[in-house]
Structure formats: C-alpha cells, structure tokens
C-alpha cells in the first residue's frame, strides 16, 4: 500500500508492501510490548498509550527516518502504522515536530480510531512549552555548592535550537535519564528566556537556595 507522509508541506509517497508488514509482525509485536510500558510524548509521560498515541510516537520516528534518508527504519515505522491503522491514507506532521500535533487521515468511508482520551496528555496553550518541573525532576539533592549546581543545571538543559521556524530546548528527565524536548515557541528570544527560567529553577533545586 501507499502511505502518504506530509512534512513541512512536502508530500512523500512511501511504498509499504503487504509482505513487509507480514514479515515484520513479530517486530511490531515487540514494539507494542515496549509501548505497553509507557511512552514519553514530548514533555509528557503517558502510562497507557492508546492506538492513536502509539502511532503518533512511531510517526515521530518515521519523521526522523524520512528527513535523514533512513529507508529501512522509515519502511518499518510506516509498516507499523499501516499494520495498526489498516485504513490509513496520510500522516501529516507540522513544522513544530510535536508528537501530539501529528494527524492521521483515513481512506474514504473508513472509521478512524478513537482520539486520545481527555486528560491522557496534558496540553498547554498554543506555542507555550509544557515545562513541569515537579514531573521532570526527582527530589533535588539540595546540598551542592553554587558553582557545581550551576554547572549541573547547564549540563542538564540544552541550549536553544531551531526546528523549522520554531525554537525549543531539551531537558534531562532524571526519572528516565533521557533528554526530552520542550514544546516549541515562535521566537528565539522567548525560548532563551524560558530556558533561563528552567536553569534557575534547577539551580535552586540543586543548591537548596531560595529563589
């Protein structure tokens, strides 16, 4: 089957043979078992991702495969989506790269799967990063000296970088030891201001000083 993928208004037609889907069935089953453990979707952890959320997560990997010309990974990720959404026609991704904004279009007459239940992923106002310090960080040590605390905070929070026409930065999730990207904002200045706030907050947690 043909899966259309739209990235930044450019359409990619991916040929996903039925034979590939059948051959990769065990691989897809393992992916589902991994996803059963929960998944990090941008800044939010989802304990029990449903069908749409799983495919959004996989579509994010498909996006990376397409832009990096990784044909093998792209076919596998496209195959998973086609296997779990047999009536899928198009995966549409916007320039922000946010998983929650990935949309799926289905063939005419098809019944799409139910969207994520309300409250399954907390949402923020458009353009505002969903930074939840209580969620992102475990209880702070609170006993580092000032210099060490600042160095540590700077290490855990990346510099601002650009995605398409938007800006974001990433933060260390101390629970999973993975780097998690914030939501995007429209200006570099705003992103830098938000990053400074995040660094200060982490510094206070590490040093035990009062803000």
Using CA atoms, how far residue 73 sits from 55, 121, 185, in Å, is 15, 27, 29
Query: What's the pTM?
Result: 0.55
Tell me the average pLDDT across 133-162.
71
In the predicted model, is pLDDT for residue 139 greater than 50?
no
Q: Where are the domains of the chain?
A: 2-106, 133-207
Using CA atoms, how far residue 171 sits from 103, 130, 134, 174, 196, in Å, is 26, 12, 13, 9, 12
Q: Cα-flanking dihedrals φ and ψ of residue 123, to 5°?
A: -115, 150
In the predicted model, is pLDDT for residue 72 greater than 80?
yes
Instruction: Report the share of the chain in percent with pLDDT over 70.
Output: 76
pLDDT at position 28 is: 93
pLDDT in tens, 84-101: 999 999 999 876 667 888
Please say whether the beta carbons of 88 and 106 come within 8 A: yes
Pick the residue with more confidence: 181 or 63?
Answer: 63
Tell me the average pLDDT across 25-51.
87
Mean pLDDT for all residues in the chain: 78
Q: What are the residues whose beta carbons fall under 8 Å from the beta carbon of 100, sequence distance 6 or more?
A: 41, 42, 56, 121, 123
């Amino acid at each position: 089957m043909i899966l259309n993928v739209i990235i930044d208004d450019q359409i990619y037609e991916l040929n996903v043979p039925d034979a590939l889907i059948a051959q990769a069935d065990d691989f897809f089953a393992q992916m589902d078992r991994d996803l059963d453990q929960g998944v990090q979707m941008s800044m939010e952890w989802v304990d029990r991702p449903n069908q749409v959320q799983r495919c959004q997560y996989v579509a994010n990997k498909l996006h990376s495969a397409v832009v990096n010309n990784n044909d093998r990974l792209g076919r596998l990720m496209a195959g998973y989506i086609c296997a779990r959404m047999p009536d899928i026609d198009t995966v549409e991704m916007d320039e922000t790269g946010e998983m929650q904004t990935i949309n799926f279009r289905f063939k005419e007459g098809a019944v799409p799967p139910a969207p994520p239940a309300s409250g399954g992923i907390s949402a923020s106002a458009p353009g505002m990063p969903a930074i939840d310090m209580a969620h992102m960080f475990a209880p702070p040590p609170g006993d580092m000296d000032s210099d060490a605390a600042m160095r540590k905070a700077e290490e855990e929070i990346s510099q601002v970088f650009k995605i398409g026409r938007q800006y974001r930065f990433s933060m260390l999730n101390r629970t999973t030891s993975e780097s998690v990207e914030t939501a995007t904002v429209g200006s570099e200045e705003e992103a830098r201001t938000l990053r400074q706030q995040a660094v200060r907050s982490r510094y206070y947690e590490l040093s035990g000083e009062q803000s």
